[in-house]
Amino acid sequence: MKKIRIPAPVWTVGLFIALLAAPFAARSQYQQHIMVMTLMAAVLASSWNIIGGYTGYTSLGHAAFFGLGGYLVAWTNNRYGWHPFISSWFLALVVMVIALIMGWISLRTQGSAFVVVTIAVVFIFRLLALNLSDITNGAKGLTQPRPGWAGIPWSPEVIKIPFYYIMLALLSLTIFVSWRIRQSKFGMGLIAIREDEGKAESVGIDTMMYKVLAFGISAYFVAVAGGIYSYFFTFIDPSFVFGIFTSVTMVLMAILGGRGTLWGPILGAFIMAPLSDWIVGKFGGSQIHLAVFGGILLLVMLFMPQGILPTLIEFLNKRAKARNVSAGNPS
């Protein structure tokens, strides 16, 4: 049988068209809501993957950038009336500068020490958000007016639609940048750092520069998503956005799908985001969803540390090879 290969651009464009039409296929607002959350999760996982996957530095600090983006957007919206759909993109640049400084300091450490330092980053920002209550409104968090445009609020029936498309735009941009990085010399450098940082340095890669840049870029999209998120919910809760759990969900989705691959984190997000919403819905306000999340992470780490996509590809390759051998034409 002749094998039919669908070229990558075709299925990418096909997927994109399907995603464009998706909100109108939704049967309820709730489904649209989950679609928005799934796209956001994909942005987070895919963006985290730039530092956590390509470069191999497991950051548990990205919740800080998510929260910072959210707070900046909420604050400027309340104070100056800046529309979050526009301000998110610019304010995330501010977060990116903060991330570059944080990265420049923290990327001196490696391995577990780096993970611990990034945990500390999240704790520090949470403490600031809780205590600088003149700006952040303390533990009560910040609220925003109902979403709308030019002073006219969007009608409740279609309110999810604009959020869906702006998240889709953000996700497309994130995937595009991630893909471009993967193809570029910069991306090769990042992968070299992951494989062997000492050797990467000895062949002339400015490893510090590369790592800090990757950290900054990876923080940017997370911050934009945080800004849009705060408007979507019109509320931002310091203990949630500046919580290690928020960071861990990004890590879990990326690892589940396959960290370091372009599509793995997206796959992970498309599995985990609807699943986690279902879990939270099923068990209500109880904390059992933490246990389910932790359990999945544990299982993945123990039995499929490479993630779904690489495991699948390896399996298919092995099978193709076996078939070739049995057909008498070894590769």
| 106 interacts with other proteins by CB under 8 A | yes
Q: Which of 12, 184, 295, 314 binds other proteins (CB under 8 A)?
A: 295
Q: Which of 7, 198, 204, 328 binds other proteins (CB under 8 A)?
A: 198
| 108 interacts with other proteins by CB under 8 A | yes
Give the Cα separation of 180 and 73 in Å (integer).
28
| 129 interacts with other proteins by CB under 8 A | no
| 134 interacts with other proteins by CB under 8 A | no
| 153 interacts with other proteins by CB under 8 A | no
Point out which span in 43-51, 165-173, 224-232, 291-299 binds other proteins (CB under 8 A). Answer: 291-299
**Two structure tokens written together for 8:** 């990558």
Q: Which of 19, 33, 78, 123 binds other proteins (CB under 8 A)?
A: 123
The b-or-e profile of 208-226 (16+ CB within 10 A means b, else e) is eebbbbbbbbbbbbbbbbb
Give the Cα separation of 110 and 57 in Å (integer).
7
**Two structure tokens written together for 116:** 């611990």
Q: Which of 148, 305, 320, 321 binds other proteins (CB under 8 A)?
A: 305
Amino acid sitting at position 146: R
The b-or-e profile of 39-73 (16+ CB within 10 A means b, else e) is bbbbbbbbbbbbbbbbbbbbbbbbbbbbbbbbbbb
Between 171 and 254, name the residue whose CB sits nearer to other proteins: 254
Residue (of 104, 74, 108) closest to 219 by Cα position = 104
Point out which span in 68-76, 116-124, 270-278, 317-325 binds other proteins (CB under 8 A). Answer: 116-124
| 127 interacts with other proteins by CB under 8 A | yes
Q: Which of 17, 94, 290, 316 binds other proteins (CB under 8 A)?
A: 290
Q: State the nearest-atom distance from the C-beta of 81 to other proteins, in Å.
A: 31
Give the Cα separation of 167 and 36 in Å (integer).
7
List binders of other proteins among 16-75 (CB under 8 A): 58, 60
Point out which span in 17-25, 84-92, 101-109, 141-149 binds other proteins (CB under 8 A). Answer: 101-109
List binders of other proteins among 219-258 (CB under 8 A): 243-245, 248, 251, 255
Number of residues that bind other proteins (CB under 8 A): 45
Q: State the nearest-atom distance from the C-beta of 128 to other proteins, in Å.
A: 9
| 117 interacts with other proteins by CB under 8 A | yes
Q: Which of 160, 182, 211, 289 binds other proteins (CB under 8 A)?
A: 289
CA-based torsion, 8, 39, 169, 261: positive or negative? negative
Point out which span in 125-133, 140-148, 153-161, 201-209 binds other proteins (CB under 8 A). Answer: 125-133
Summarize as ranges the residues that interact with other proteins (CB under 8 A). Answer: 58, 60, 105-106, 108-113, 115-117, 119-121, 123-124, 127, 130-131, 196-198, 243-245, 248, 251, 255, 286-295, 297-298, 301-302, 305
